[in-house]
Amino acid sequence: MRATTCFLAGAAVAGSALATPLVGSRQADTCAPIPSPFPTWQQLPTQSSLPDPLLPRKYTTTDNVKDILVRKGRNRIQTPEQWYKCRQPEIMQLLQEYQYGYYPDHSQEKVEATRSGNTVNMAVTAGGKTAKFKATISLPSGASASRKAPVAWGFYRTLDALNMTVPEMDASRVGVTGCSRLGKGTLAAGLFDKRITVTMPMSSGVKSGAGWWTSSKLGTFVNHALNLPYDAHTIAAAITPKALIIDQGTGDASTDSKATAMVVYPAAKAIYDWLGVGDKIGINVRGRGHCDMSGFSSVLPFVQKVFFGTRTTKDYNNLGGYGSPMSTAFPWSTAVPRQ
Ligand SMILES: *[C@@H]1O[C@H](CO)[C@@H](O)[C@H](O)[C@H]1NC(C)=O
């Protein structure tokens, strides 16, 4: 018999006792097997609301929300342990399969780094090939090996190299940021590299087009978006438990600031809240347009809170002119399993 999922094991234990509340059951320790091959869009059900991050792909139906009301969503992830052990890894697989392509196996790579002043040179060797690149560092004044500064920009191998060559930097306080296309890169970095302490995508949404930014598999979902087993909020939620601060300008319709603020952010926050890390996600809705530099200073208090515990009175849950979340788009968030 195939291995069952986390929650199915719980359901099986409850067996015929239908009256037994299944919510909160903690029995399971096996996760659903990774599907191979992955389903095509035709094999995936259309979903009338944003995909429920707590529902494994295997149990996704067109009627998820009804299932939560009628059957108490017994196939959903019930505990944070199940989220981190089963569902978050499954989301990482789905995202690599349908959107990002597969992340390299870093254990098969070798990295060499040298530092020359404020330039760090890297050579990464894998599969007999070597790629060379460099990073420029700008240290705040006063930074030294005994007074380390947080890294303002880091990526997987760059972070390794900085850790090896720049003792003035604190590799346990790492932020990654970028705007527009680099905002999408930022989101991907925070998603795949859990050493990143705070992920700061700026103006990083997109309404349509720009197919070259993703794996061509995502293109098969054009005109079939309702079959996609995840959405932008799923990506944001999969960054848990690490911090995420989103910056969007109201004058920037092409990156869909409105939907980012009213749908993506609150839907992801529901998962952060449920996991007990609600203070690790925030949004800065500002005026003005694409990649406005004011975004950086506006998110700084949030970043300082994450890095140093510095208090701030700024409300990073404020959707500004957009008002309130459009919760009808993600009705599952009002019925998360009780802890
Ligand atoms: C930095 O290097 C130290 C010593 O090798 C290691 O323990 C630590 O995990 C590294 N940190 C990062 C963020 O890679």
Sign, CA torsion 257/268/272/39: negative
Q: How far apart are the first and last CA of the chain?
A: 31
* Phi (first) and psi of residue 245, to 5 degrees: -125, 120
Could you tell me which residues come within 8 angstroms of residue 56 by beta carbon, excluding any fewer than 6 positions away? 5, 6, 7, 32, 75, 77, 86, 87, 90
- CATH number for the domain harbouring residue 214: 3.40.50.1820
pLDDT tens figures, 162-218? 888 888 889 899 988 888 888 888 899 999 998 999 999 998 877 666 666 778 899
- Give 96 Cα–ligand 1 centroid separation in angstroms: 26
Distances (CA, A) of 339 to 15, 27, 72, 80, 91: 21, 14, 14, 9, 22
47 is a domain residue:
no
Instruction: Of 82, 97, 95, 45, give the one whose Cα is nearest residue 230.
Output: 95
185 is a domain residue:
yes
Residue 155: CB atoms within 10 A of its CB come to 20
44 is a domain residue:
no
231 is a domain residue:
yes
The structural domain count of the chain equals: 1
119 is a domain residue:
no
- Give 107 Cα–ligand 1 centroid separation in angstroms: 14
User: Cis link prior to 140 (omega < 30° from 0)?
Assistant: no
- Any atom of ligand 1 within 6 Å of the Cβ of 195: yes
- Any atom of ligand 1 within 6 Å of the Cβ of 163: yes
- Give 174 Cα–ligand 1 centroid separation in angstroms: 12
- Give 177 Cα–ligand 1 centroid separation in angstroms: 21
* Domain coverage including residue 229: 5-20+149-335
Alpha carbon 328 to its chain's center: 22
Phi and psi based region of residue 119 (left: phi greater than 0; alpha: psi -120 to 50; beta: remaining): beta
- Any atom of ligand 1 within 6 Å of the Cβ of 199: no
- Any atom of ligand 1 within 6 Å of the Cβ of 171: yes
Q: Which residue has the higher pLDDT, 42 or 30?
A: 42
Could you tell me which residues come within 8 angstroms of residue 126 by beta carbon, excluding any fewer than 6 positions away? 104, 108, 109, 110
pTM: 0.84
Contact 31, 89 (CB under 8 A): yes
Alpha carbon 234 to its chain's center: 7
Longest dimension (CA), the chain: 69
73 is a domain residue:
no
Q: Which of 64-78, 248-262, 279-293 shows the lowest per-residue confidence on average (mean pLDDT)?
A: 64-78
Buried b / exposed e across 66-91, counting CB within 10 Å, b at 16+?
ebbeeeebbbbbbbbebbebbbbebb
pLDDT tens figures, 69-124? 777 788 899 999 999 999 999 999 999 999 988 877 778 888 888 999 889 888 88
Alpha carbon 256 to its chain's center: 18
144 is a domain residue:
no
143 is a domain residue:
no
